[in-house]
A and B are shown apart, each in its own frame.
Chain A
Amino acid sequence: MKGIIRNQKVRNFHQAKWDEPIIFELHQEGERGVIPPHAEQDITESVGDGVSVLPEALQRKADPKLPEISQNRVLRHYLRLSQETLGAAFNVEIGQGTCTMKYSPKINEVYAASPKVTALHPKQDDATVQGMLEVIHNLDLYMREISGMDYFSFQPGSGTQSLFAMASIVRAYHEANGEADQRDEIITTIFSHPSQAATAAVKGYKIITLYPDEDGFPDIDKLKAAVSERTAGFVVANPEDTGIYNAKIKEFTKIVHDAGGICYYDQANANGLLGITRAKEAGFDMCFFNLHKTFSTPHACGGPAAGALGVTDQLKPFLPGPIVEKDGDTYTLNDDLEHSIGKVRSYHGVPQNILRAYAWIRALGAKGLKQVAETAVLNNNYLYHEILKIKGAGAPYIKGKRLEQVRYSWEKLYQDTGVTTEDISRRMADFGHQYWTSHHPFVVPQPFTLEPTESYSKTDLDEYIASLTHIANEAYTDPEKVKSAPYNSSIHAVVDQSPFEDPNKWAVTWRAYLKKTKASN
């Protein structure tokens, strides 16, 4: 037999395309997907039908118009749609920059699915959840090492909720000092996550946004001009989405402290910093980590996630409760925090993710955690080095090394060819890749943000680079090919955006779709 030649530089990919109907179209009257438990005969004899005791006005008159579908068909529908979803387990997942898409180890899933986790009720007596409380407490101890903070709460269900909790603590702190009315401004930066500004605004703060200087650093002179007796807090990521580390961070936190503000550190993504540098030494009063980013818990299509919120001793009384404490060999829940903001998420946050993050840290140890940071940064600088060789690609701001990610720009490619970063995004789907532009507003023109983490090999990175190179070449030789993408995805391009903007067309549910398209069908 002649050898099979496999010398293509880019992957000959095609995503699953099942052309699956909307689930309501699978309805067949009388079919059943599952039968829930029923009451025993004795119970029915004792209490009757159970429902006619409801006042007539509250008894449901018309059944919900849910579809009736056999179990096998429901399963097949969802499995087919799962195949049309490019999870991180399936691709060289470096395209969703800022999201820290890394390998989520399977062993952690085994234990997250244990009934010793899934079947725990959050109001069980502390004595019956000692294993879970031990995990929470130990993860707290590890997080203290990683950050230098004095105490952690794992109640926030995401990075955004962590930021909201921190903004709440800032307010509660100034209230306790009688300065809440006076201190009504929070300072952030444009290259930080939008939720920093948004959550502070929910807490009633006016937002001051710092823009970068010509090298990409948040402008220290602008910070000096912004702080005053009205400053409540300063929130920032470092590095920001650009991957540029702000070496003056300690000066920044000092300027804010001197003005009487609280400094809180967005470490949603701390993947390049584990064992390298910490929040405490940089002068922060609080920080948070996303367990679904740096600490490997799966992103789950967008949650449930988890935030680890760390504070200095001074701010511990403000944490949401309860917190886990150790007394001898016993773990207890303490809800007696003097200035507690109350709660941000019900019960204890997302404990199955606390367990997963704990397991991930135990699989790595202190040395392994540092290897994560070193490798993530090495991978990023390798990718950066190679992407700058691609025609039309660039990375604004300071030259030299970046940490765990880079915000790149196709501005030159766009000027030369008219192909946009959104066009490239759709075309990358044809090669089995995720690709993300950036948060809005696009301060960097035609942006894209890549973050390779520690999970990918040199070969993996080379594949991603080859795909980008291939598409950039296409843009210069056959721009229409890129603009009309995708070709190998589960669907083709949605060209008309009006169904997402026009109240007469938008349909957030199938029933709304049926109503609004009735005339045309």
Chain B
Amino acid sequence: MTNSKVDSAHPYIPNTVPEVRDAMLKQIGAESVEELFSAIPDELIYKKEMAIPEALAEFDLSKHLERTLNKNTSTKDVISFLGGGCWEHFVPAVCDEVNSRAEFLTAYAGDEYEDHGRFQVLFEYQSLVAELVDMDVVNVPTFDWAQAAATSIRMASRITGRKEALVPKTISPDRLKIIKNYCSPDIQLTFVDYDEATGKMDLADLQRKLSADVAAVYFENPSYLGFIETACKEINELAKQHAAITIVGVDPSSLGIMEPPSRYGADIVCGELQPLGIHMNYGGGLSGFIATRDEVKFVEEFPSRLFGVAPTSVEGEYGFGDVLYERTSMAQREKGKESVGTQTSMWAITAGVYLALMGPNGMKELGTTIMQKSQYAVQQLDKIEGITASHFKGINFKEFVVDFNGTGKTVKEVNEKLREKGIFGGIDLSEEFPELGQAALYCVTEVHSKADIDQLVEALQSL
């Protein structure tokens, strides 16, 4: 079914009404619409009709989209244990209400006087995340954790004038790809090895690799593989001995119960906002933040927009604007700090709403629940013959490596069987970390019930 009216006036294009179009052409002294394109040489004019299906009217479009999307199986249709950088969490209804408001959804880059509300909510988001990480400066967020980490490393390189960064070998391979491409060609990334038993950073290797060329030591807490890095102070002290900057990537859902990295010496903290009230969206829900102390040497190196508060000409009003706008590529083109443009402001607003709803108690309860449920899952899975959970001996947050080497089955085979039972098993690590053999990264958050975990255990037992 096609919309036979499309040839005259399309619902999205008011001036397709022929009479209006003719009147406008007449007003500007043009004979035809084609005349408006006379600047384009004839050899460059596309003379065919594009092979794109005919227009669908709204009802037909909705049927088509529904049919197409119904081919997807969502994590709501099954029990999913997938995480690894994008996680299933509880999303309060107010978060969706606010981020679907047309006022916010369709706004863009207006000034303070048209978009005062947008400036205030982004300032508030910065302020709320600042409390979580206990630092005084937070940016309008970038694309994702990976970009935030990459920019943090570039900031450290500019501050120190050095061209090497140390990263843990346990970093997410996808995240590493992004950081690597973003830092090349001028910043070299060097792996720091990990302890085979615990996954934690090998401090002797760190010491070997630190030098006067190292701009930054980057590590994550919790790590991609779920374990908690406990030698944070020692890592920071070693970095400082070589005047390198300590950058820590965090999952903010841990910060109601875990010390923020600023308390163990981190100079730059970055991480992912998606756990804070944002749906996964097949990865489209990611958003990366960067936080620092309020020191000129850090603030002037941010490429991002930083909204600051200021008085207006009327007492009692809060006004807002860009702090150190001259830093940015919008002001200085290639002489600005990296580049800035459209990133993920709507997710910043959403994360702000989430933190305002949760408050300190909500964040503490969230962290506690994740710890309890993931520990329960490890405890139960470990009872299954041939399976070791968790592979790394230590404490985990939210995620853990399940070792299937003793089962004689590949993770791929296990996951296929689980899928038949309505379960998405953990991320297959056999290609990402071949040294672990057949192992998978399982994720348990506050959304998983005891029954969900028990069902997983039962399904694995029956394989």
Contact = CB atoms under 8 A, between A and B. Distances in A.
Interface stretch (A156-164, A255-263, A409-417): A156-164
Contacts, number: 718
Interface residues of A, number: 215
Contact of A198 (B103, B307, B339): B339
B185 A171 contact: yes
Contacts of B263: 61
Contacts of A375: 13, 15-16, 21
Nearest to B337: A198
Contacts of B449: 40
B450 A42 contact: yes
A4 interface: no
B13 A87 contact: no
A86 B178 CA distance: 35
A305 to B, nearest CB: 4
B366 interface: yes
Contacts of A199: 339
B329 A194 contact: yes
A89 B341 CA distance: 22
Given A66-B355, A145-B52, A194-B329, A510 B308 contact: no
B104 A49 contact: no
B114 A434 contact: yes
A47 B311 contact: no
B56 A363 contact: yes
B12 A303 contact: no
Contacts of A36: 90, 358, 362, 365-366, 369, 446
B264 interface: yes
Residues of B in contact with A, size category: 35 or more
Interface stretch (B140-148, B191-199, B212-220): B140-148
B73 A128 contact: yes
Interface stretch (A222-230, A452-460, A466-474): A452-460
B101 A79 contact: yes
B356 A66 contact: yes
A122 B138 contact: no
A455 B14 CA distance: 7
A463 interface: no
Interface in B81-123: 82, 84-86, 88, 90, 92, 94, 96-118, 120-123
A209 to B, nearest CB: 8
A117 B281 contact: yes
B314 interface: yes
Contacts of B387: none
Contact of B12 (A22, A131, A364): A364
A395 interface: no
A119 B178 contact: no
B72 A426 contact: no
A338 to B, nearest CB: 15
Nearest to A354: B284
A33 B361 CA distance: 10
Contacts of B286: 345-347
A31 B357 CA distance: 10
B390 interface: no
B94 to A, nearest CB: 5
Contact of A385 (B27, B58, B330): B27
A124 B424 contact: yes
A38 B370 CA distance: 9
A503 to B, nearest CB: 5
A198 B39 contact: no
Given A434-B110, A500-B322, A508-B323, A90 B140 contact: no
A492 B52 contact: no
A281 interface: yes
A50 B287 CA distance: 28
Contacts of A65: 131, 360
Interface stretch (B29-37, B238-246, B401-409): B29-37
A118 B65 contact: no
Contact of A507 (B53, B54, B180, B308): B308
| A-B interface, 6 closest residue pairs, ranked by CB to CB distance from nearest | A347-B283, A33-B357, A160-B341, A50-B371, A84-B117, A131-B71
24 contacts: A34-B358, A36-B362, A36-B369, A42-B450, A50-B370, A53-B375, A57-B232, A58-B230, A58-B232, A64-B260, A82-B103, A111-B65, A119-B76, A198-B339, A204-B185, A250-B44, A304-B346, A305-B343, A364-B10, A365-B53, A379-B24, A403-B37, A499-B308, A513-B309
Given A120-B281, A381-B28, A500-B322, 6 more contacts: A23-B128, A60-B256, A118-B280, A304-B346, A352-B281, A492-B319
